[in-house]
Amino acid sequence: MKYFSLTWLIITFYSITVFAQNKTQTISGTVIDRVTRQPVIGASVSVIGSTQGAISDASGKFSILNVNIGRRSVKCTSIGYETFSSEEFIINSVREVVLTIDLKESTGELQEVKITASQNTSRPVNDLAYVSARSFTTEETERIPASVNDPGRMALSYPGVKAGRDESENKIIVRGNSPFGILWRLEGIDIPNPNHFAQPGSGGGGITVFSAQLMSRSDFFTGGMPAEYGNALSGAFDIRFREGNQQKQQYRTKIGVLGLDFSTEGAIQKGRSSYLVNYRYSTLGLLSQMGIYLVGERVTNNFQDLSFNLAFHSKDGKKTMTIFGLGGMSEEHYLPVEDPQKRVLGKSDNWEDRIRPANMGAVGVTFNANLNEKSSLKLVIAAIGSSINRTADTLNLKNVPYRYETQKYEESRLATSMAYNYKLSTKTRFKAGAILNLVDFVFFKETAPRRNVSDINQFNAGRQTSVSGSGNTQTSQVFAQVVQNVAKGLTMNAGLHLMYLSLNKTSSLEPRFSIQYLSPNAHSISFAYGLHSQFLPMSAYFYVRKDSLDGKITTTKANTNLQFPRSNHFILSYNYITPKLWKFSVEAYYQLINRVPVETKIGSTYWMLNYAESFPETSAVSKGKGKNKGIDISVERFFSKKYYLLITGSIFDAKYQTFDGSMYNSAFNDRFSTALTFGREFSFKNGSVFQIGGRSIFNGGYRYTPIDAIESAKQKRYVALKGADYASFAPNYFRIDGRVSYRTNRKRFASVVSLDIQNATNQINYTSVQYNSITNKLEPRKSGSGLVPILSYQLDF
């Protein structure tokens, strides 16, 4: 209750001190052609609901002065282009709003122009995505409860998306697939897991490294990606950085439970170039010292990150160069029970001291050029690095440590990408490109295996090195696609994507095809097929197998020739967007998965994609199969007239097949997922705004394999019941999140005080089962941090 009292105290204070006055701000930006990226001259940009507007100049730039603060939207029209209407965005008293409006060339059908205005609100930035894709803004990552500016946590409100077992780990499960299948892309290049507290072989972690102050409108995919996206089995985040203000300096500072943020932006050369920088430092370590553990009992966390984007434009606005970067450092420490006498023998985490540092970074240069009226080119060069290390000790009653696990995963890349667009006519366009990586790596894993995970005193003799390797290799991706408006309202997109790994000379040629029909009354029907492959974690190829021959121990790299796992996506989609900004969406999908690493032993149920992290630590072949099917339904009211609403529901079934042909439920076959997200704003005459929102999540419980009680009692360790892999599931998952915020506007500063509440009802969900050697039972475990209030104060000046 103290958090609520403090929040209302601050809100009351600002309500008294903020005096009523008319406050205005400037909306500026650039209007460009969506395909060629050429400036659009003479476009009319107006503020919806007012008489204010402007005309774009020879560089496509415009500026609208003295716009009243609050939520506003703009409309843009130009001869030969379809009408554009933006979603509502927030204008405060001290920060200018800078927009990039990309117009779609009209094919001459007036009805098509009429409907596009209502569809701009949700369409992906990548206009070649016809199914399973949507864009999102930084403002959405703020207002969706408990998202705390994190795209991954925000996505839990979307259809077909759910979190992993542990809600603190930010693992994203899309349509019953492993979190391993998510691609992260930044400014056109693929990047490693961009999460603090990252885990090897997974897309999960604690919280994103991305700064909300730098993110521009970006895309999220849940399948059926166009040909330019490779290295993804299930979905993708395509993140874009925005540019800083080219006219004046602006500052933002944010103080909250999670950390301290400071960002600054402004002109390097007025009207031509800008900078944007954000630094964040975590306060979680300080909270841990106070005995407040937000992640879990006896778990301390520290992180910090830095992001920046420098942009330089030519005089004619046809060439742009940016220098961008982001980096994050984090460490997670799992502490044992401090008093040895209070450690429970059946619970291994009472005795363990585990340290998990994880760092990542990327620095790059982009070059965008409008070559002529029909073509454009984008080049990116970047240096990327990631490091994930783990050490784990177990302590005795005298606190003497015994090292039972050491892991090291370090990788650096020199990456380059190119994308070329060419418009053959108003009805035909072509896009092609490539992504190349030079990769250096070092991998190592050594363990002292336990006979019984619940008894820290029972170790097998000797240590085992299961992963060991270092060297370099190259990865290549090449794509090409053609888009054709084949008839009125009917568009087709066909392409190919090629992936190649020089380490073992493995390749994959992937066809992609999609077609979309837009009716005159704003209904759309789309179909997409695509073959999607993904590089295995590089460490997967360096599993060390030990064999005994004539009394001698030999070692071999048994998995050198593993192929890329791949998935055939079939998606049928229906959407309807009303003039009043309601969207109704239904998508049915079917996925056929193959080439998944499995063991060749008859009776083995190992299937690599059952694991949210890690990689094969056994001899494997790429013979595993799987199939996922399901349906996603959503009803959405885009933010308008002071409220928004999103209701989603998904039913799915995910199965896998082992080497011997046996079929089982996959580890992520949780059967269903649902979410309800809403928000409402209340405006006051003095320009302040009070916002309230909520989100409820109700999902099927996680799956696990029941115990063979007889064999487990004999061997005094957990023995899975044969033929029943992932046959059992825990009770259903339920959580309610909440958010309240209060925005104020003064002449020289604007502020937001907010309170996000994760798990408002303090519902502790089941996250795992653990074998207890004393009782010979699998014990369901509830973990998580319960109710987590995240109070923050943001100041713009």
pLDDT tens track for 87-136? 889 999 999 999 999 898 886 554 444 444 445 667 899 989 999 999 99
Residue 369: its pLDDT value, please? 93
3-state secondary structure of 8: helix
Q: Which residue has the higher pLDDT, 185 or 712?
A: 185
- Any bridge partners for residue 241, and if so which? 215
Q: What is the mean pLDDT of residues 647-653?
A: 98
Q: What is the mean pLDDT of residues 292-302?
A: 75
Residue 8: its pLDDT value, please? 46
Cα–Cα dist 555/544, whole Å:
6
Q: Given a cut of 90, is residue 631 above it in pLDDT?
A: yes
Residue 294: its pLDDT value, please? 64
Q: Identify the weakest region by mean pLDDT among 165-169, 643-647, 786-790.
A: 165-169
Q: Identify the weakest region by mean pLDDT among 124-128, 363-367, 418-422, 562-566.
A: 124-128
Q: Given a cut of 70, is residue 323 above it in pLDDT?
A: yes
Of 557, 554, 562, nearest in space to 543 by CA: 557
Q: What is the mean pLDDT of residues 318-324?
A: 95
Q: Given a cut of 90, is residue 86 above it in pLDDT?
A: no
Q: Given a cut of 90, is residue 630 above it in pLDDT?
A: yes
Residue 18: its pLDDT value, please? 41
Q: Identify the weakest region by mean pLDDT among 28-42, 669-683, 735-749, 766-780.
A: 766-780
Enumerate residues 6+ apart whose C-beta is below 8 A from 739: 143, 144, 145, 146, 679, 691, 692, 693, 694, 754, 755, 756, 757
Q: Given a cut of 90, is residue 626 above it in pLDDT?
A: yes
Q: What is the pLDDT of residues 736-773, one digit of tens each?
A: 999 999 999 998 899 999 999 999 999 888 888 888 87
Q: What is the mean pLDDT of residues 15-38?
A: 74
Residue 784: its pLDDT value, please? 65
Phi, psi of 181 (to 5 degrees): -80, 5
Whether 554 and 562 have beta carbons less than 8 Å apart is answered as: no
DSSP string of 55-73?
A: E--TTSEEEEEEEESEEE-
How many other CB atoms are there within 10 angstroms of residue 202's CB atom? 25
Strands 663-665 and 672-683: unpaired
CA angle 58, 64, 65 (to 5 degrees): 135
3-state secondary structure of 103: strand
Residue 548: its pLDDT value, please? 65
Whole-number mean pLDDT of the chain? 88
Of 620, 704, 631, nearest in space to 673 by CA: 631
Residue 111: its pLDDT value, please? 43
Q: Identify the weakest region by mean pLDDT among 400-409, 434-443, 564-573.
A: 400-409
Q: What is the pLDDT of residues 224-246, one digit of tens each?
A: 999 999 999 999 999 999 999 99
Q: Identify the weakest region by mean pLDDT among 114-118, 158-162, 355-359, 369-373.
A: 114-118
Question: What are the percentages of helix, strand and coil residues in the chain, rounded to 5?
Answer: 10, 55, 35
3-state secondary structure of 377: strand
Cα–Cα dist 192/535, whole Å:
12
Q: What is the mean pLDDT of residues 359-364?
A: 97
Residue 529: its pLDDT value, please? 98
Residue 11: its pLDDT value, please? 46
Phi, psi of 206 (to 5 degrees): -100, -60
Kindly indicate the confidence band of residue 620, based on its pLDDT and cuts at 50, 70 and 90: very high
Cα–Cα dist 439/475, whole Å:
8
Q: What is the mean pLDDT of residues 527-548?
A: 89
Q: Extract long-range pairs of 65-68: CB within 8 Å, 24+ residues apart.
A: 65/24, 65/26, 66/24, 66/26, 67/24, 67/25, 67/26, 67/27, 67/91, 68/22, 68/23, 68/24
Alpha-carbon distance values, 772 to 52, 232, 368, 720 (Å)? 70, 38, 59, 14
Q: What is the pLDDT of residues 166-217, one digit of tens each?
A: 777 788 999 999 999 999 999 999 999 999 998 887 777 888 999 989 999 9
Alpha-carbon distance values, 406 to 188, 190, 392, 409 (Å)? 34, 28, 7, 10
Residue 14: its pLDDT value, please? 43
Whether 530 and 547 have beta carbons less than 8 Å apart is answered as: no
3-state secondary structure of 797: coil
Cα–Cα dist 509/497, whole Å:
6
Query: What residue type is assigned to position 95 of the chain?
Result: R
Q: What is the mean pLDDT of residues 267-281?
A: 95
How many other CB atoms are there within 10 angstroms of residue 341's CB atom? 6
Strands 97-103 and 24-33: parallel
Q: Which residue has the higher pLDDT, 548 or 318?
A: 318
DSSP H helices in 657-792: 709-715
Phi, psi of 550 (to 5 degrees): 55, 40
Cα–Cα dist 528/494, whole Å:
10
Beta strand residue intervals within 112-188, DSSP E: 133-136, 161-163, 172-174, 182-186
Residue 114: its pLDDT value, please? 44
Q: Identify the weakest region by mean pLDDT among 123-127, 230-234, 575-579, 777-781.
A: 777-781
CA angle 126, 275, 194 (to 5 degrees): 55
Cα–Cα dist 293/295, whole Å:
6
Radius of gyration of the CA atoms of the chain, in A? 27
Residue 142: its pLDDT value, please? 92
Residue 23: its pLDDT value, please? 83
Residue 257: its pLDDT value, please? 83
Residue 508: its pLDDT value, please? 96
Residue 113: its pLDDT value, please? 40
Residue 330: its pLDDT value, please? 94
Whether 361 and 327 have beta carbons less than 8 Å apart is answered as: yes
Whether 627 and 592 have beta carbons less than 8 Å apart is answered as: yes
Kindly indicate the confidence band of residue 36, based on its pLDDT and cuts at 50, 70 and 90: confident
Q: Given a cut of 50, is residue 363 above it in pLDDT?
A: yes
Q: Given a cut of 80, is residue 435 above it in pLDDT?
A: yes
Kindly indicate the confidence band of residue 462, based on its pLDDT and cuts at 50, 70 and 90: low
Portion of the chain with pLDDT greater than 90, in percent: 62
Kindly indicate the confidence band of residue 351, based on its pLDDT and cuts at 50, 70 and 90: confident
Of 193, 176, 173, nearest in space to 184 by CA: 193
109-122 core/surface letters (b: 16 or more CB in 10 A; e: else) = eeebbebbbbbbbb
Residue 7: its pLDDT value, please? 46
Beta strand residue intervals within 35-180, DSSP E: 44-47, 53-55, 61-68, 70-72, 74-77, 84-85, 89-91, 97-103, 133-136, 161-163, 172-174
Cα–Cα dist 151/212, whole Å:
9
Q: Given a cut of 80, is residue 466 above it in pLDDT?
A: yes
Q: Given a cut of 90, is residue 62 above it in pLDDT?
A: yes
Residue 222: its pLDDT value, please? 97
The residue whose two tokens read 């970074």 is 361
Q: What is the mean pLDDT of residues 270-299?
A: 80
Q: Given a cut of 50, is residue 649 above it in pLDDT?
A: yes
With residue 285 as reference, give the H or E element that holds it: helix 284-289
Q: Which residue has the higher pLDDT, 297 or 342?
A: 342
Cα–Cα dist 376/128, whole Å:
16
Residue 297: its pLDDT value, please? 75
